[in-house]
Amino acid sequence: MSKQEQRSFSNVLSVNPYKNIYISAISSFLSETTSPTFSKEQYTISYLNTKGFINSQIAISKNIPDEDLYDAIYNKAYDELGLDQAVMYQIQYIETSNDLEEENRNFHIFIINPAEITDVFKDAIEKIKYFDYIIPSPLLLKSLYSKDIIEDSGVHCFIYFQENDTFITIYNNKEFIYTKSINYSFLQMHERFCEIYGERVEYEEFIDFLSNGNLKTTQSSYKEHFIKLYKEIFANISDVLTYVKRALDVEKIDTIYIDSQISTVTKLDELSEVELGIKSSDFNFDYGFESSESHMDQLHALMHVYVSLPQEEKYECNFTIYHRPPKFIQRDSGKAILLAVASLILAFIYPVSYWTLTYAQNVQYDLLNEDYKELHNIKITREATIKNKEADKHKVLTLFNNEKDEYIQKKNTLIKIHDVKVNYPVKANLLYKLTKDLNRYRVKVESMSYSESAKPDKKIGTAKQLKFGLVSSNDKKITNLVKYLTRTYEGKFHFSIDEISFRKESKLYFGELRVNLL
């Protein structure tokens, strides 16, 4: 792991570069942000769609040392895949285990033209300046196994529909073995649906029916055409799975996990079981995050889980070309400047120190001479003052005795007031109860004050009020606390809070709770 990845960050930002959607995670809460900014304390992660890169398998002799491994993979990829020699492709790889292969090491390689990365991330990089990690989207699914979100072994197929891409990914015994992009992204599905329907349908209308239309109950004219489209999609998926089982010697697919970037009323997993005859489920995984969104893109949740994994449980496959700048002292220019400054300091240190000592000695002499003159004048003045003060001493003692008596009276009065206001048992008991309730709902207190005032409407007595400045990571904790207090102490105290505000810089919620003693 790099030194940058070893650092602790205040928050994690996941980015969908194809739709410019940014999801920030603070602690375990995910929320979308519309105005992401550059921050050194922010860890940023994104992904590449499957159709954006070339994926293949390659074998390298076990005799090649690790320090030469990348060059061997790079050269063999160009030779076997017929890559354009004029383009310097960016290549990342992960090693796969193969107990039957004794002479070679096997690798999955991922290849992309750097121009593709530049084009995809051109808008996002203007806002956040760098990316710590850019990973092929199929490899994010590894986190489901590393975090034991999926505990079963076997052959699992993941199908995920997005606006710009739809991929099929296969994991066998919790390890990646295959991925493919199919031509049924939302945009491609829309074009194909228009062909089947025979008329041009607006994309927004198509997405609305895709999300909200229920093929079991709807009477829409779109129904039979959507059914035809789905059958065509699952027929294509069936062909891919047939190829995978034959090419990779897979006996059967145990489970299909299928979902989409948008929520759909029609259950895709039910369609999958009917059309493919394989046990299917949606991506209803417990990622361990709370979210402000009713339906969140699964890839965002997977990215946040991936960041939290130990390095040894990740696939090391980082395509980022937008690295953080090194620290000043680690840059060549910084080292040169520091060396020049050090040389200048050493060149001038002797003459400067000699001149400084001489000047300091002269200044010290002048200061001591001035101090002597000043102290001599003070001595004469104080001797005269002492004589005058002796004469005033008797008068002062008389005044002192009078003030002392008055002081004792006021002191006794203040002690009584202190006992009534500070040590008043009802208030102490209230503070004790409220402190327990605050701890129960995990709400912190930023400030506290107590005040008394005459009751309104000419009522006899005083109105007593406590004010608490509340702080919480979640506004629901504050509202739940107020509901509980109002219900528990009804008829004894009156609780009120005008508003709960959110401060972006601290990512916390603030509110002022007023407690009136009835």
DSSP states along 77-114: HHHHHT--TTS--EEEEEEE--TT-SSEEEEEEEEE-H
At 302-333, the pLDDT tens digits run 999 999 898 888 898 999 999 887 665 555 56
| Higher-scoring residue by pLDDT: 212, 291 | 212
Residue 428 has pLDDT above 80, yes or no: no
End-to-end CA distance of the chain: 61
| Higher-scoring residue by pLDDT: 346, 73 | 73
* pLDDT score recorded for residue 243: 95
- Summarize the confidence of residues 187-215 as an average pLDDT: 93
Is residue 455 within 8 A of residue 429, CB to CB? The reply is no
Residue 428, SS3 per DSSP: helix
Residue 4 has pLDDT above 60, yes or no: no
- Highest averaged pLDDT of the listed ranges 218-222, 235-239, 364-368, 463-467: 235-239
* pLDDT score recorded for residue 5: 47
| Domain boundary assignment for the chain | 1-149+289-325, 150-284, 329-422, 425-517
Which sign, positive or negative, has the C-alpha torsion 91, 24, 322, 162? positive
Question: In the CATH hierarchy, which top-level class contains the domain 1-149+289-325?
Answer: alpha beta
- Looking at 3.10.20.600, 3.30.420.40, 3.40.50.2300, 3.40.50.1820, the CATH number of the domain 150-284 comes to 3.30.420.40
Beta-bridge partner residues of 109: 56, 93
- Summarize the confidence of residues 44-73 as an average pLDDT: 93
Beta-bridge partner residues of 16: 21
* pLDDT score recorded for residue 333: 60
Same fold flag, 1-149+289-325 and 150-284: yes
Name the pLDDT band for 1 (thresholds 50, 70, 90): very low
Residue 350 has pLDDT above 80, yes or no: no
* pLDDT score recorded for residue 2: 45
Q: What is the DSSP string of 50-87?
A: GGGSEEEEEEEETTS-GGGHHHHHHHHHHHHHT--TTS
Residue 196 has pLDDT above 90, yes or no: yes
Instruction: Answer yes or no: CATH 3.30.1360.100 is held by domain 425-517.
Output: yes
What is the C-alpha separation between 409 and 415, in angstroms, rounded? Answer: 10
- Summarize the confidence of residues 213-236 as an average pLDDT: 91
Residue 349 has pLDDT above 50, yes or no: yes
Residue 190 has pLDDT above 50, yes or no: yes
* pLDDT > 90 fraction of the chain, expressed in percent and rounded: 47
Name the pLDDT band for 225 (thresholds 50, 70, 90): very high
**Average pLDDT of the chain, as a whole number:** 86
- Summarize the confidence of residues 440-458 as an average pLDDT: 80
| Higher-scoring residue by pLDDT: 395, 70 | 70
* pLDDT > 70 fraction of the chain, expressed in percent and rounded: 89
